[in-house]
Chains A and B, each alone.
Chain A
């Protein structure tokens, strides 16, 4: 239980997808105009991560990594299919996202309209593919650890996008110079938030 909690807290603050690894920036910057859409997208990201990373873990364990195919028969002990990882992970992610898109279109057409092109773009959100690749790289010991990492990363991304959305809603009433309004000031604020989050880097749990 202790290690699950460790991984969970680590992935929210210290290994934050947005501020430590700068993944998922496109949707982060473009959708964070209002807190409402950011909450919607953030929840979708948590959901997609929470499903694709554990599925990816299972694929990695029993299909892709070196020696994974042993359950088929011992003659497969030295088969290493990890070069297929990219395609397998992307396939799972793409299918999940298409599913989420259909569900959102059915149950919340206004959220679907306001997310626009960025809902299908969750499929290429580097944070999602990055989640699967990090899970593979860090060699988590169990599916529980992989899931805790996935949900933690999702929550970290969610916090980041809701944070920047809240700030953007507030600065709408500030005197931002014309050319900087909107995306320009968002980049600069994100850079400052990034520097602030670097304070978490030295913490060892």
Chain B
């Protein structure tokens, strides 16, 4: 009788930690996997909606990953998209109601975009690519990691767009405070428009791939 030693992986083993660190850098949902672009353009005109959006996506993706992972052996192949969408829709409605109840001002600002989390490709993308085939705890970590990667890009883009486009950070008039307007500086209105968000993300990709040449592919 051979002894089968099943090593119980510790909760935060190196392999599990990698799930988070990979998704922030090498496997970033926006810059490498090319998912979640629509919201990255739409909500990043100011910092506050960007951060609230990231937290909402974190909740939906992490919880959704766990639920799908728990159900992965019982969902029939042919209707898996419909099942996934129902789960996402339920979680998004939850987030929407919580936001309306506890952070009404912000939810007014985000209005349509909370609903658009349902169509955020990152969530379906990770369901199909990871949690349909993995255990609940790694799926949870994968969800957290991808949301942090997504949130990081959103914050960077929103930071530049808000600062250069309206001269404020979180609504606080930075440039006015340091007196830049007096020497003739004017806000760059183009930064508030979506095309600049695209170009900003392009530059972020440029920087990321210059530092990690192994990510370069045609």
Report which A residues bind B (CB closer than 8 A): 22-27, 29-30, 86-87, 90-91, 94-95, 97-98, 117, 120-121, 123-126, 129-130, 133, 172, 177-188, 190-192, 194-195, 198
Contacting pair A126 B205 (CB below 8 A): no
1/0 per residue B1-40: CB within 8 Å of A? 0000000000000000000000000000001001111100
Residues of A within 8 A of B170 (CB): none
Contacting pair B82 A94 (CB below 8 A): yes
Shortest 7 CB-CB distances between A and B: which pairs?
A: A187-B202, A179-B209, A191-B198, A194-B195, A25-B37, A184-B205, A188-B202
Additional A-B contacts beyond A26-B38, A188-B199 (7; CB < 8 A): A25-B41, A26-B37, A29-B34, A86-B89, A94-B81, A124-B120, A188-B198
Contacting pair B217 A182 (CB below 8 A): yes
Interface of B is mostly: helix
Contacting pair A172 B124 (CB below 8 A): no
**Chain B, Cβ-Cβ closest to A176:** B218
A182 in contact with B206 given A30-B34, A91-B82 (CB within 8 Å): no
In the assembly, what is the distance between CA of A120 and CA of B118, in Å? Answer: 14
Residues of B within 8 A of A24 (CB): 38
Contacting pair A126 B116 (CB below 8 A): yes
In the assembly, what is the distance between CA of A24 and CA of B35, in Å? Answer: 10
Residues of B within 8 A of A190 (CB): 195, 198
**Chain B, Cβ-Cβ closest to A180:** B206
Q: Is B178 an interface residue (CB 8 A)?
A: no
A-B contact pairs, 24 of them (CB 8 A): A25-B37, A26-B121, A87-B86, A120-B124, A120-B128, A123-B124, A124-B85, A125-B121, A129-B119, A177-B206, A178-B209, A180-B205, A181-B217, A182-B216, A183-B31, A183-B205, A184-B206, A185-B202, A188-B199, A190-B195, A191-B197, A191-B202, A194-B198, A195-B193
Partner of A94 from the list B85, B120, B121, B123 (CB cut-off 8 Å) is B85
Q: Is B188 an interface residue (CB 8 A)?
A: no
Partner of B199 from the list A23, A129, A187 (CB cut-off 8 Å) is A187
Contacting pair B195 A126 (CB below 8 A): no
Residues of A within 8 A of B193 (CB): 195, 198
**Chain B, Cβ-Cβ closest to A194:** B195
Partner of A184 from the list B37, B115, B196, B202 (CB cut-off 8 Å) is B202
Q: Is B177 an interface residue (CB 8 A)?
A: no
Contacting pair A90 B85 (CB below 8 A): yes
Q: Is B179 an interface residue (CB 8 A)?
A: no
A126 in contact with B218 given A185-B202, A188-B202 (CB within 8 Å): no
Partner of B125 from the list A29, A87, A91, A117 (CB cut-off 8 Å) is A117
Contacting pair B36 A26 (CB below 8 A): yes
Partner of A129 from the list B78, B86, B118 (CB cut-off 8 Å) is B118
In the assembly, what is the distance between CA of A112 and CA of B125, in Å? Answer: 17
Q: Is B109 an interface residue (CB 8 A)?
A: no
Nearest Cβ in chain B — how far from A89, in angstroms? 10
Contacting pair A192 B41 (CB below 8 A): no
**Chain A, Cβ-Cβ closest to B42:** A22
Contacting pair A86 B82 (CB below 8 A): no
Contacting pair B125 A183 (CB below 8 A): no
Contacting pair B89 A29 (CB below 8 A): no
Residues of B within 8 A of A180 (CB): 202, 205-206, 209
Nearest Cβ in chain B — how far from A166, in angstroms? 16
Contacting pair B128 A191 (CB below 8 A): no
Residues of B within 8 A of A184 (CB): 202, 205-206, 209
In the assembly, what is the distance between CA of A30 and CA of B195, in Å? Answer: 18
Partner of B216 from the list A120, A178, A186, A192 (CB cut-off 8 Å) is A178
